[in-house]
Chains A and B, each alone.
Chain A
Amino acid sequence: MNVAVKENKKKREQKSTDEFIKGLWKENPVFVQVLGMCPVLAVTNTSMNALAMGLATSFVLLMSNILISLLRNFIPKQVRISSYILIIATFVTVIDYVIQAISVELHKSLGAFISLIVVNCLILSRAEAFASKNTLKHSVMDALGMGIGFTFALLCLGVVREVLGSGTVFQFQILPENFQSWIIMILPAGGFFTLAFWLLFFNYLKERKAKS
Protein backbone atom coordinates (compact mmCIF):
# COMPACT_ATOMS: atom_id res chain seq x y z
CA MET A 1 0.00 0.00 0.00
CA ASN A 2 2.86 2.25 0.88
CA VAL A 3 4.25 1.73 -2.58
CA ALA A 4 0.92 2.64 -4.13
CA VAL A 5 0.77 5.89 -2.14
CA LYS A 6 4.29 6.73 -3.15
CA GLU A 7 3.57 6.02 -6.76
CA ASN A 8 0.46 8.12 -6.61
CA LYS A 9 2.44 10.98 -5.14
CA LYS A 10 5.06 10.64 -7.82
CA LYS A 11 2.38 10.77 -10.47
CA ARG A 12 0.93 13.92 -8.97
CA GLU A 13 4.31 15.56 -8.89
CA GLN A 14 4.89 14.53 -12.46
CA LYS A 15 1.63 16.18 -13.37
CA SER A 16 2.44 19.47 -11.70
CA THR A 17 5.74 19.74 -13.56
CA ASP A 18 3.83 18.98 -16.73
CA GLU A 19 1.55 21.93 -16.03
CA PHE A 20 4.63 24.07 -15.72
CA ILE A 21 6.40 22.83 -18.85
CA LYS A 22 3.41 22.98 -21.18
CA GLY A 23 3.12 26.78 -20.96
CA LEU A 24 6.73 27.24 -22.01
CA TRP A 25 6.56 25.55 -25.33
CA LYS A 26 3.85 23.07 -26.27
CA GLU A 27 0.99 25.40 -25.37
CA ASN A 28 2.88 28.67 -25.50
CA PRO A 29 0.20 31.34 -25.06
CA VAL A 30 1.49 33.57 -27.86
CA PHE A 31 3.00 31.33 -30.51
CA VAL A 32 0.65 28.38 -30.21
CA GLN A 33 -2.60 29.61 -28.67
CA VAL A 34 -2.40 33.14 -30.17
CA LEU A 35 -3.84 34.71 -27.02
CA GLY A 36 -3.21 38.17 -25.57
CA MET A 37 -2.10 39.62 -28.87
CA CYS A 38 -2.68 43.28 -28.06
CA PRO A 39 0.19 43.79 -25.59
CA VAL A 40 2.37 41.39 -27.56
CA LEU A 41 2.26 43.72 -30.54
CA ALA A 42 1.89 47.05 -28.84
CA VAL A 43 4.60 47.24 -26.19
CA THR A 44 7.36 45.18 -27.75
CA ASN A 45 9.10 48.09 -29.47
CA THR A 46 11.92 47.85 -26.91
CA SER A 47 13.19 44.86 -24.91
CA MET A 48 12.75 46.71 -21.61
CA ASN A 49 9.06 47.38 -22.25
CA ALA A 50 8.59 43.78 -23.32
CA LEU A 51 10.21 42.43 -20.15
CA ALA A 52 8.24 44.76 -17.86
CA MET A 53 4.99 43.90 -19.57
CA GLY A 54 5.75 40.17 -19.38
CA LEU A 55 6.51 40.34 -15.66
CA ALA A 56 3.46 42.49 -14.88
CA THR A 57 1.19 40.11 -16.76
CA SER A 58 2.77 37.09 -15.07
CA PHE A 59 2.18 38.67 -11.67
CA VAL A 60 -1.50 39.30 -12.38
CA LEU A 61 -1.85 35.82 -13.86
CA LEU A 62 -0.26 34.18 -10.81
CA MET A 63 -2.25 36.14 -8.22
CA SER A 64 -5.59 35.76 -9.98
CA ASN A 65 -4.98 32.05 -10.57
CA ILE A 66 -4.24 31.59 -6.85
CA LEU A 67 -7.33 33.47 -5.72
CA ILE A 68 -9.67 31.92 -8.26
CA SER A 69 -8.39 28.45 -7.49
CA LEU A 70 -9.00 29.04 -3.77
CA LEU A 71 -12.47 30.43 -4.36
CA ARG A 72 -13.47 27.93 -7.03
CA ASN A 73 -16.02 26.20 -4.82
CA PHE A 74 -17.62 29.45 -3.65
CA ILE A 75 -18.16 31.36 -6.90
CA PRO A 76 -21.62 30.66 -8.37
CA LYS A 77 -21.47 29.41 -11.92
CA GLN A 78 -23.72 32.12 -13.41
CA VAL A 79 -21.60 35.05 -12.32
CA ARG A 80 -18.20 33.43 -12.64
CA ILE A 81 -16.89 35.44 -15.59
CA SER A 82 -17.74 38.76 -13.97
CA SER A 83 -16.18 37.59 -10.70
CA TYR A 84 -12.99 36.60 -12.51
CA ILE A 85 -12.81 39.96 -14.25
CA LEU A 86 -13.27 41.80 -10.95
CA ILE A 87 -10.49 39.75 -9.33
CA ILE A 88 -8.19 40.40 -12.28
CA ALA A 89 -9.02 44.12 -12.31
CA THR A 90 -8.10 44.37 -8.63
CA PHE A 91 -4.64 42.91 -9.18
CA VAL A 92 -4.10 45.04 -12.25
CA THR A 93 -4.85 48.15 -10.19
CA VAL A 94 -2.23 46.93 -7.69
CA ILE A 95 0.46 46.36 -10.32
CA ASP A 96 -0.38 49.69 -11.96
CA TYR A 97 0.44 51.54 -8.74
CA VAL A 98 3.51 49.35 -8.12
CA ILE A 99 5.01 50.16 -11.54
CA GLN A 100 4.26 53.83 -11.02
CA ALA A 101 6.16 53.65 -7.73
CA ILE A 102 9.17 51.84 -9.24
CA SER A 103 9.65 53.91 -12.36
CA VAL A 104 7.48 56.75 -13.61
CA GLU A 105 9.28 56.62 -16.93
CA LEU A 106 8.43 52.96 -17.49
CA HIS A 107 4.85 53.64 -16.47
CA LYS A 108 4.66 56.36 -19.08
CA SER A 109 6.12 54.25 -21.88
CA LEU A 110 3.76 51.34 -21.19
CA GLY A 111 0.87 53.79 -20.90
CA ALA A 112 -2.66 52.47 -21.02
CA PHE A 113 -1.40 48.97 -21.72
CA ILE A 114 -0.90 48.28 -18.01
CA SER A 115 -4.59 48.89 -17.35
CA LEU A 116 -5.37 46.85 -20.42
CA ILE A 117 -3.91 43.72 -18.78
CA VAL A 118 -7.46 43.36 -17.41
CA VAL A 119 -8.73 42.44 -20.83
CA ASN A 120 -5.80 40.20 -21.76
CA CYS A 121 -7.58 37.09 -23.00
CA LEU A 122 -4.72 34.92 -21.73
CA ILE A 123 -5.50 35.64 -18.07
CA LEU A 124 -9.24 35.14 -18.37
CA SER A 125 -8.78 31.98 -20.39
CA ARG A 126 -6.43 30.48 -17.77
CA ALA A 127 -8.93 31.40 -15.06
CA GLU A 128 -11.83 29.83 -16.91
CA ALA A 129 -10.07 26.84 -18.41
CA PHE A 130 -7.68 25.95 -15.62
CA ALA A 131 -7.76 27.68 -12.24
CA SER A 132 -11.51 27.24 -11.80
CA LYS A 133 -11.16 23.48 -12.09
CA ASN A 134 -7.83 22.65 -10.50
CA THR A 135 -6.13 22.66 -7.12
CA LEU A 136 -4.03 25.52 -5.83
CA LYS A 137 -0.71 23.80 -6.51
CA HIS A 138 -1.50 22.98 -10.11
CA SER A 139 -2.91 26.44 -10.72
CA VAL A 140 0.27 28.04 -9.44
CA MET A 141 2.41 25.83 -11.67
CA ASP A 142 0.16 26.58 -14.62
CA ALA A 143 0.32 30.33 -14.00
CA LEU A 144 4.11 30.25 -13.66
CA GLY A 145 4.54 28.25 -16.85
CA MET A 146 2.17 30.41 -18.86
CA GLY A 147 3.65 33.59 -17.40
CA ILE A 148 7.19 32.60 -18.33
CA GLY A 149 6.05 31.44 -21.75
CA PHE A 150 4.34 34.77 -22.31
CA THR A 151 7.36 36.76 -21.14
CA PHE A 152 9.62 34.67 -23.36
CA ALA A 153 7.42 35.39 -26.39
CA LEU A 154 7.33 39.10 -25.61
CA LEU A 155 11.13 39.12 -25.33
CA CYS A 156 11.46 37.28 -28.66
CA LEU A 157 9.61 40.14 -30.32
CA GLY A 158 11.07 42.93 -28.23
CA VAL A 159 14.69 41.96 -28.83
CA VAL A 160 14.28 41.57 -32.59
CA ARG A 161 12.42 44.85 -32.92
CA GLU A 162 14.89 46.78 -30.79
CA VAL A 163 17.96 45.38 -32.54
CA LEU A 164 16.66 46.12 -36.01
CA GLY A 165 14.82 49.30 -35.08
CA SER A 166 17.51 51.05 -33.08
CA GLY A 167 20.55 48.77 -33.05
CA THR A 168 20.43 48.18 -29.30
CA VAL A 169 19.38 45.54 -26.78
CA PHE A 170 18.25 46.79 -23.36
CA GLN A 171 19.75 50.09 -24.52
CA PHE A 172 23.23 48.60 -25.02
CA GLN A 173 24.58 49.33 -28.48
CA ILE A 174 25.28 46.01 -30.15
CA LEU A 175 25.24 46.87 -33.81
CA PRO A 176 27.90 49.27 -35.18
CA GLU A 177 27.08 52.98 -34.85
CA ASN A 178 26.78 53.46 -38.60
CA PHE A 179 24.02 50.84 -38.82
CA GLN A 180 21.07 52.32 -40.66
CA SER A 181 18.21 51.45 -38.29
CA TRP A 182 14.98 50.14 -39.73
CA ILE A 183 12.45 52.63 -38.46
CA ILE A 184 9.62 50.39 -39.58
CA MET A 185 10.45 47.86 -36.87
CA ILE A 186 9.46 50.22 -34.05
CA LEU A 187 6.34 51.36 -35.88
CA PRO A 188 3.06 49.41 -35.52
CA ALA A 189 3.56 47.67 -38.87
CA GLY A 190 6.86 46.23 -37.63
CA GLY A 191 5.04 44.52 -34.77
CA PHE A 192 2.75 42.68 -37.16
CA PHE A 193 5.65 41.67 -39.41
CA THR A 194 7.89 40.48 -36.57
CA LEU A 195 5.19 38.30 -35.05
CA ALA A 196 4.30 36.95 -38.50
CA PHE A 197 7.92 35.97 -39.11
CA TRP A 198 8.27 34.30 -35.72
CA LEU A 199 5.13 32.28 -36.46
CA LEU A 200 6.52 31.38 -39.88
CA PHE A 201 9.76 30.28 -38.28
CA PHE A 202 7.99 28.04 -35.75
CA ASN A 203 5.71 26.61 -38.43
CA TYR A 204 8.78 25.83 -40.50
CA LEU A 205 10.42 24.03 -37.57
CA LYS A 206 7.25 22.04 -36.92
CA GLU A 207 6.95 21.14 -40.58
CA ARG A 208 10.53 19.93 -40.73
CA LYS A 209 10.11 17.89 -37.57
CA ALA A 210 6.97 16.29 -38.94
CA LYS A 211 8.80 15.30 -42.13
CA SER A 212 11.80 13.66 -40.50
Chain B
Amino acid sequence: MNTASLWSIFINACLINNFVLAYFLGICPFLGVSGKVATASKMGAAVTFVMVISSLCAFGINSILTAINAPYLQLISYIVVIASTVQLVEMFVKKMSPALFNALGIFLPLITTNCAILGLVLFQTAKGYNILEGFVYALGAGAGFTIALLLMAGLREQLELADTPKIVKGTAITLLIAGILSLGFMGFSGLG
Protein backbone atom coordinates (compact mmCIF):
# COMPACT_ATOMS: atom_id res chain seq x y z
CA MET B 1 0.00 0.00 0.00
CA ASN B 2 1.52 3.30 -0.93
CA THR B 3 1.37 6.00 1.68
CA ALA B 4 0.92 8.84 -0.81
CA SER B 5 -2.50 7.59 -1.88
CA LEU B 6 -3.59 7.09 1.74
CA TRP B 7 -2.46 10.63 2.52
CA SER B 8 -4.43 11.98 -0.40
CA ILE B 9 -7.55 10.12 0.77
CA PHE B 10 -7.12 11.73 4.18
CA ILE B 11 -6.65 15.26 2.82
CA ASN B 12 -9.53 14.76 0.44
CA ALA B 13 -11.97 13.70 3.15
CA CYS B 14 -10.74 16.25 5.65
CA LEU B 15 -10.30 19.45 3.67
CA ILE B 16 -11.15 19.36 -0.03
CA ASN B 17 -14.47 17.58 0.29
CA ASN B 18 -15.11 18.51 3.88
CA PHE B 19 -18.19 16.56 4.98
CA VAL B 20 -19.92 19.51 6.59
CA LEU B 21 -19.00 22.39 4.32
CA ALA B 22 -18.90 20.70 0.92
CA TYR B 23 -21.26 17.70 1.25
CA PHE B 24 -23.69 19.19 3.82
CA LEU B 25 -23.53 16.10 5.98
CA GLY B 26 -23.97 16.41 9.72
CA ILE B 27 -25.52 19.86 9.62
CA CYS B 28 -27.74 19.21 12.66
CA PRO B 29 -24.93 18.82 15.22
CA PHE B 30 -22.98 21.47 13.30
CA LEU B 31 -25.73 23.97 14.07
CA GLY B 32 -26.72 22.46 17.40
CA VAL B 33 -23.52 21.71 19.34
CA SER B 34 -21.29 24.46 18.00
CA GLY B 35 -22.01 26.89 20.84
CA LYS B 36 -18.88 26.21 22.89
CA VAL B 37 -15.38 25.13 21.82
CA ALA B 38 -14.99 22.61 24.66
CA THR B 39 -18.21 20.75 23.86
CA ALA B 40 -17.55 20.94 20.15
CA SER B 41 -14.17 19.25 20.42
CA LYS B 42 -15.59 16.36 22.46
CA MET B 43 -18.50 15.98 20.08
CA GLY B 44 -15.98 15.84 17.24
CA ALA B 45 -14.03 13.11 19.02
CA ALA B 46 -17.18 11.05 19.65
CA VAL B 47 -18.29 11.35 16.03
CA THR B 48 -14.82 10.42 14.75
CA PHE B 49 -14.80 7.33 16.96
CA VAL B 50 -18.22 6.19 15.74
CA MET B 51 -17.13 6.84 12.16
CA VAL B 52 -14.02 4.67 12.45
CA ILE B 53 -15.86 1.76 14.10
CA SER B 54 -18.79 1.94 11.65
CA SER B 55 -16.44 2.12 8.70
CA LEU B 56 -14.66 -1.08 9.80
CA CYS B 57 -17.95 -2.90 10.48
CA ALA B 58 -19.44 -1.73 7.21
CA PHE B 59 -16.50 -3.19 5.35
CA GLY B 60 -17.21 -6.59 6.91
CA ILE B 61 -20.95 -6.35 6.27
CA ASN B 62 -20.45 -5.31 2.71
CA SER B 63 -18.29 -8.33 1.92
CA ILE B 64 -20.90 -10.65 3.47
CA LEU B 65 -23.75 -8.99 1.57
CA THR B 66 -21.84 -9.24 -1.70
CA ALA B 67 -21.15 -12.91 -0.99
CA ILE B 68 -24.83 -13.76 -0.39
CA ASN B 69 -25.95 -11.35 -3.11
CA ALA B 70 -28.38 -9.24 -1.06
CA PRO B 71 -27.55 -5.59 -1.79
CA TYR B 72 -31.04 -4.46 -0.76
CA LEU B 73 -30.15 -5.23 2.87
CA GLN B 74 -27.22 -2.81 2.76
CA LEU B 75 -28.93 0.30 4.08
CA ILE B 76 -30.78 -1.54 6.84
CA SER B 77 -27.71 -3.37 8.13
CA TYR B 78 -25.56 -0.23 8.04
CA ILE B 79 -28.00 1.71 10.15
CA VAL B 80 -28.18 -1.11 12.69
CA VAL B 81 -24.38 -1.13 13.01
CA ILE B 82 -24.28 2.64 13.48
CA ALA B 83 -27.08 2.58 16.06
CA SER B 84 -25.31 -0.08 18.11
CA THR B 85 -21.96 1.72 17.99
CA VAL B 86 -23.62 4.91 19.18
CA GLN B 87 -25.26 2.99 22.01
CA LEU B 88 -21.82 1.70 22.99
CA VAL B 89 -20.30 5.17 22.97
CA GLU B 90 -23.22 6.50 24.97
CA MET B 91 -22.72 3.89 27.69
CA PHE B 92 -18.99 4.54 27.72
CA VAL B 93 -19.34 8.32 28.03
CA LYS B 94 -22.02 8.03 30.71
CA LYS B 95 -19.72 5.84 32.80
CA MET B 96 -16.47 7.72 32.22
CA SER B 97 -17.65 11.31 32.32
CA PRO B 98 -21.18 12.16 33.45
CA ALA B 99 -20.42 15.87 32.99
CA LEU B 100 -19.66 15.40 29.31
CA PHE B 101 -22.74 13.20 29.04
CA ASN B 102 -24.87 16.07 30.27
CA ALA B 103 -23.13 18.64 28.09
CA LEU B 104 -23.76 16.66 24.91
CA GLY B 105 -27.33 15.92 25.98
CA ILE B 106 -29.72 14.87 23.26
CA PHE B 107 -27.02 15.20 20.61
CA LEU B 108 -25.25 12.07 21.81
CA PRO B 109 -28.01 9.58 20.87
CA LEU B 110 -28.66 11.76 17.81
CA ILE B 111 -25.24 10.77 16.42
CA THR B 112 -27.22 7.79 15.10
CA THR B 113 -29.12 10.10 12.79
CA ASN B 114 -26.01 12.09 11.92
CA CYS B 115 -25.93 11.87 8.15
CA ALA B 116 -22.16 12.26 8.16
CA ILE B 117 -21.73 8.73 9.48
CA LEU B 118 -24.18 6.96 7.18
CA GLY B 119 -22.86 9.12 4.34
CA LEU B 120 -19.29 8.09 5.08
CA VAL B 121 -20.20 4.41 5.07
CA LEU B 122 -22.15 4.73 1.81
CA PHE B 123 -19.41 6.72 0.06
CA GLN B 124 -16.82 4.22 1.23
CA THR B 125 -18.80 1.37 -0.31
CA ALA B 126 -19.45 3.33 -3.51
CA LYS B 127 -15.76 4.12 -3.91
CA GLY B 128 -14.78 0.50 -3.26
CA TYR B 129 -12.16 1.28 -0.62
CA ASN B 130 -10.36 -1.62 1.05
CA ILE B 131 -10.23 -1.88 4.83
CA LEU B 132 -7.12 0.28 5.29
CA GLU B 133 -8.30 2.98 2.87
CA GLY B 134 -11.69 2.93 4.59
CA PHE B 135 -10.02 3.43 7.96
CA VAL B 136 -8.03 6.44 6.69
CA TYR B 137 -11.12 7.84 4.96
CA ALA B 138 -13.08 7.62 8.24
CA LEU B 139 -10.25 9.31 10.15
CA GLY B 140 -10.10 12.10 7.57
CA ALA B 141 -13.85 12.63 7.58
CA GLY B 142 -13.89 12.69 11.37
CA ALA B 143 -11.02 15.19 11.46
CA GLY B 144 -12.80 17.35 8.88
CA PHE B 145 -16.01 17.28 10.89
CA THR B 146 -14.14 18.23 14.05
CA ILE B 147 -12.31 21.08 12.28
CA ALA B 148 -15.56 22.52 10.93
CA LEU B 149 -17.24 22.21 14.31
CA LEU B 150 -14.32 23.86 16.12
CA LEU B 151 -14.10 26.74 13.64
CA MET B 152 -17.80 27.37 13.97
CA ALA B 153 -17.74 27.14 17.78
CA GLY B 154 -14.83 29.59 17.97
CA LEU B 155 -16.65 32.06 15.75
CA ARG B 156 -19.90 31.72 17.65
CA GLU B 157 -18.19 32.34 20.99
CA GLN B 158 -16.99 35.66 19.59
CA LEU B 159 -20.38 36.36 18.11
CA GLU B 160 -22.00 36.21 21.53
CA LEU B 161 -20.26 39.50 22.32
CA ALA B 162 -21.07 41.16 19.01
CA ASP B 163 -24.01 43.45 18.52
CA THR B 164 -26.05 41.65 15.86
CA PRO B 165 -29.44 42.89 14.65
CA LYS B 166 -32.37 41.03 16.16
CA ILE B 167 -33.59 39.39 12.97
CA VAL B 168 -30.31 37.65 12.15
CA LYS B 169 -29.84 36.19 15.64
CA GLY B 170 -29.85 32.39 15.91
CA THR B 171 -29.86 30.13 12.89
CA ALA B 172 -29.68 32.82 10.22
CA ILE B 173 -26.33 34.25 11.27
CA THR B 174 -24.91 30.75 11.84
CA LEU B 175 -25.83 29.80 8.29
CA LEU B 176 -24.28 32.97 6.90
CA ILE B 177 -21.04 32.16 8.71
CA ALA B 178 -21.20 28.58 7.45
CA GLY B 179 -21.54 29.90 3.91
CA ILE B 180 -18.43 32.04 4.29
CA LEU B 181 -16.52 29.11 5.82
CA SER B 182 -17.63 26.96 2.92
CA LEU B 183 -16.29 29.57 0.48
CA GLY B 184 -13.00 29.47 2.37
CA PHE B 185 -12.79 25.68 2.15
CA MET B 186 -13.26 25.87 -1.63
CA GLY B 187 -9.75 27.27 -1.67
CA PHE B 188 -8.44 23.81 -0.78
CA SER B 189 -9.72 22.32 -4.02
CA GLY B 190 -6.34 22.85 -5.66
CA LEU B 191 -4.72 20.40 -3.26
CA GLY B 192 -6.21 17.32 -4.87
The DSSP consensus for interface residues of chain B is helix
A116 engages B119 (CB within 8 Å): yes
- Chain B contributes a number of interface residues (CB within 8 A of A) equal to 41
Query: Given A41-B24, A191-B24, A193-B179, A203 and B83 touching (CB < 8 A)?
Result: no
Indicate whether B88 reaches chain A with its CB closer than 8 angstroms.
Answer: no
| Complex alpha-carbon distance, A187 and B183, angstroms | 9
- Chain A contributes a number of interface residues (CB within 8 A of B) equal to 39
Indicate whether B23 reaches chain A with its CB closer than 8 angstroms.
Answer: yes
B26 engages A203 (CB within 8 Å): no
Task: Give the residues from 164 to 212 in chain A that come closer than 8 angstroms, CB to CB, to chain B.
Answer: 184, 187-193, 195-196, 199-200, 203-204, 207
B167 engages A207 (CB within 8 Å): yes
A42 engages B113 (CB within 8 Å): no
Indicate whether B110 reaches chain A with its CB closer than 8 angstroms.
Answer: yes
B172 engages A199 (CB within 8 Å): yes
Query: Given A38-B24, A81-B109, A121-B110, A86 and B79 touching (CB < 8 A)?
Result: yes
Chain A residues within an 8 Å CB radius of B83: 81-82, 85
Indicate whether A119 reaches chain B with its CB closer than 8 angstroms.
Answer: yes
Chain A residues within an 8 Å CB radius of B119: 112, 116
Query: Given A112-B126, A116-B118, A121 and B113 touching (CB < 8 A)?
Result: yes
Indicate whether A124 reaches chain B with its CB closer than 8 angstroms.
Answer: yes
Contacting residue for A189 out of B27, B123, B179, CB 8 A: B179
Indicate whether A37 reaches chain B with its CB closer than 8 angstroms.
Answer: yes
B167 engages A200 (CB within 8 Å): yes
Indicate whether B38 reaches chain A with its CB closer than 8 angstroms.
Answer: no
Chain B residues within an 8 Å CB radius of A192: 175-176, 178-179, 182
Indicate whether A34 reaches chain B with its CB closer than 8 angstroms.
Answer: yes
A96 closest partner in B (C-beta)? B75
Query: Distance in Å from the Cβ of B32 to the closest Cβ of chain A?
Result: 9
Residues of B within 8 A of A (CB): 21-28, 31, 72, 75-76, 79-80, 83, 109-110, 112-115, 117-119, 122-123, 126, 166-168, 171-173, 175-176, 178-180, 182-183, 186
14 A-B interface contacts by CB (under 8 A):
A34-B171, A37-B28, A38-B24, A38-B27, A81-B83, A86-B79, A97-B72, A112-B126, A118-B79, A119-B112, A189-B183, A196-B173, A196-B176, A196-B179
